[in-house]
Amino acid sequence: MPSETNTPKLVSKEGKLIDLKEAVTFRRNFAIISHPDAGKTTLTEKLLLYGGAIQQAGAVKARGEQRKVTSDWMELEKQRGISITSTVLQFVYNKITINLLDTPGHQDFSEDTYRTLAAADNAVMLEDAAKGLEPQTRKLFEVCRLRNIPIFTFINKMDRPGQEPLSLLDEIEAELDLATYAVNWPIGSGDLFRGVIERHSREVVLFSRAVRGKQSKERRLKLNDPALNKLVEKDLLDKALEELELLEAAGSDLDIELIRAGEITPVFFGSATTNFGVKSFLDSFLEMAQGPVARNASDGPVDPMRETFTGFVFKLQANMDPRHRDRVAFVRVCSGRFEKDMTVSHARTGKNIRLSRPQKIFAQDRAVVEDAYPGDVIGLNNPGMFSIGDTLYAGKRVEYEGIPCFSPEIFCWLRNPNPSAFKNFRKGVNELREEGAVQILYDNDQSKRDPILAAVGQLQLEVVQHRLENEYSVETRLEPLGYQVARWVDGGWPSLEKVGRIFNCKIVQDSWQRPVLLFKNLWNLNQLEQDHPSLSLSSVAPVVSGVNPITL
C-alpha cells in the first residue's frame, strides 16, 4: 500500500510515473441545472462537439434509438419523452478532461439531481431568455447554495424574443441573492439579435442566423471599428453600450475568488441551437471554474492530492441493461488515483472489495476504465453492497459526509395484494430504496408494516411501480396518505418525547428509524412550530454514516 505522504508522484501497475498534480490541475467537473426545455440537451450536445466526444449534432438525442436495447423502464422514459436517468459524459477539450454530470430534466426526479449535485464541483445554470428563472432552476440552485458551489449562468435562446437582459440579471440578484457579472452583453434579441459585446476584449462578436442545425459563423470586430456601423443598427448598439456602462458603474467586478465561493455568477448570453457563444462560454468556464475540491470527511477535509484513492457513491442505478440485470454504483473519485483491479475498503461495512470491472459510462455506453482521478466518475458493478453516500478508500480510513435526503411531498402506502409475491416485493422495495429511486418510510405501528413510498414527484412513484412489475414481477397498488409535507426532528426520538403529545401530524420513521413528521399542509406545520418552539425541525434528512438502514 502506498505511504500516506503528500508527494504527488504515483507509480502505475505498469511502472509508469503518474503526476497526480497534473491530473488534478487538468480536470474540471460540472452539472447543468435548468428547467425542462431551457435547452440543456442542446447545450450539452454542443459542448460535446467541442470535445470531439460526438461527431454530429443530434447524437445525444439520437441515442434514443439505442435505448431500444436498454432496460424496460427506460421504455417509460421513451414513452414520456423525458430523461429520468443521470449519466456522466467525459470529454477532453484544450487538454482539460471535463466531466459533465448530466441530470434528469423532469422535476419529479429532482432527488436524483440533488445527489448528482453532491458530486459536482461547479454548476451551470441555464436559463431561457424569455422565461428567466423557473421553478426547477430555483430549487436546484438552492441545493448548489447548500454547498456554495460556483455557478455559471448561460442565458439561452437569444435568437428569440426575450426579456430585457438587465431584468434577467436583476431577477438573479434579487431572487437568488446572487451577485452577477455579465461576461458578455447582448446587442438586441430575437429577430434583432446582432451578437454580443465581449467585455474583456472590447470586441463585438456578430451573430449570423445559420441554417437550422448548422453552426453560425463567428465574426469579430473591435468596438471602435467603423465597419460596425454598417453591420449593427445604431440604436441597438447604443442601447447595449449604455447598459454596459451602467453595469460597469454599478455592477460587480469579476472576482475569481467570489466566483469560486459561489457568491458571484458570471453570466453569458448566447444561443445553443445556433451554437452562438457556446465556445467562448466553454473557454471562460474552464478558466474560472474550480478544479476538484477537497471534500469533507468525518476527520476534516480530504485534499484531492492525497496520494491514496478515496471516493463516495452518489448514485445507484439498477438494470441499465436488462440483458445483464446489472446494478451500477456511480462513484465520484475524490483523491488519489483509482486503478482497475485495486482493492479498497468499504467504510460502512469495513469490508475489503476488489474493484475488478470499473466502467466509464458515456450516456448508455460503457467502457472499462483503467484508471481515474479526482473529479472523475466511475461506474462499479454493485451486487447489493453499496448504498448512496458510502465511502470507498485505500490507505488510511476515510468516511465522507453522507448525502442528505430532501423533503418528499407525496406519500403513498405501497400494497402488495398477492402474498405469494412477498419475497419479490421485499427484494424490489429494498433495492429501489437502496438505489434512491424513492424514500421508504414506515408506520410506527408495527402491525402496519407495509412501506410508505415518499417521493418528490408523482412520476417517481410511477417508475417504482413500473419497475416492480417489470423487474421484480410484482403488481402493486398505491394508496395515498393525504400528507404533503415531511420534517425530520433534530435530536431524534428524545427531542420528540420531550415535547409530549403533538397534534395534526402523523409520526412515522424513516429507513434509519428516525422520526419523521408528516403534515397535511404548511399551515399545520407552522402551527406545530408555534406551539412547540423548542422543537427543531428540518426539511433535509440528517446525513447518515456508518449505520445500516432497516429493510422490509
Give the interface with ligand G4P as residue ranges (CB under 6 A): 34, 36-42, 105, 156-157, 159-160, 271-273
Q: Count CA atoms within 13 Å of residue 177 on its CB side.
A: 4
Please, what is the minimum distance in Å from the beta carbon of residue 50 to ligand G4P? 16
* Most distant CA pair in the chain, distance: 82
**295 in Cβ contact with 334 (< 8 Å):** yes
Please, what is the minimum distance in Å from the beta carbon of residue 432 to ligand G4P? 26
State how far the Cα of 505 lies from the Cα of 519, in Å rounded to an integer: 5
State how far the Cα of 389 lies from the Cα of 549, in Å rounded to an integer: 12
Q: What is the DSSP string of 290-337?
A: --SPPEEETTEEE-TT-SS-EEEEEEEEE-SSTTTT-EEEEEEEEES-
Q: Which is nearer to ligand G4P, 136 or 290 (by Cβ)?
A: 136
Please, what is the minimum distance in Å from the beta carbon of residue 491 to ligand G4P? 41
Q: Which is nearer to ligand G4P, 272 or 454 (by Cβ)?
A: 272
Q: Which is nearer to ligand G4P, 212 or 230 (by Cβ)?
A: 212
Cell numbers 440528517 correspond to what residue?
542
Please, what is the minimum distance in Å from the beta carbon of residue 61 to ligand G4P? 7
Cell numbers 446494478 correspond to what residue?
327
> Rounded to whole angstroms, what are the CA distances from 480 to 6, 16, 175, 295, 488?
55, 59, 34, 39, 20
Long-range contacts of 378-381, Cβ-Cβ distance < 8 Å, separation of 24 or more: 378/311, 378/330, 378/331, 378/333, 378/338, 379/328, 379/329, 379/330, 379/331, 380/328, 380/329, 380/330, 380/331, 380/355, 381/326, 381/327, 381/328, 381/329, 381/357
Q: Which is nearer to ligand G4P, 90 or 156 (by Cβ)?
A: 156
Q: CB-based burial of residue 117 (10 Å sphere; 0-12 exposed, 13-18 middle, 19+ buried)?
A: buried
Q: What is the DSSP string of 122-143?
A: EEEEEEETTTBS-HHHHHHHHH
Please, what is the minimum distance in Å from the beta carbon of residue 87 to ligand G4P? 13
Please, what is the minimum distance in Å from the beta carbon of residue 302 to ligand G4P? 34
Please, what is the minimum distance in Å from the beta carbon of residue 141 to ligand G4P? 15
Please, what is the minimum distance in Å from the beta carbon of residue 402 to ligand G4P? 29
Cell numbers 438494470 correspond to what residue?
319
Task: Give the helix/strand (H/E) hosting 23.
Answer: helix 20-25
Give residue 127's identity as a one-letter amino acid code: E
State how far the Cα of 127 lies from the Cα of 149, in Å rounded to an integer: 18
Q: Which is nearer to ligand G4P, 128 or 510 (by Cβ)?
A: 128
Please, what is the minimum distance in Å from the beta carbon of residue 213 to ligand G4P? 9
**205 in Cβ contact with 195 (< 8 Å):** yes
Q: Which is nearer to ligand G4P, 2 or 36 (by Cβ)?
A: 36
Please, what is the minimum distance in Å from the beta carbon of residue 462 to ligand G4P? 19
**Total length of the chain:** 552
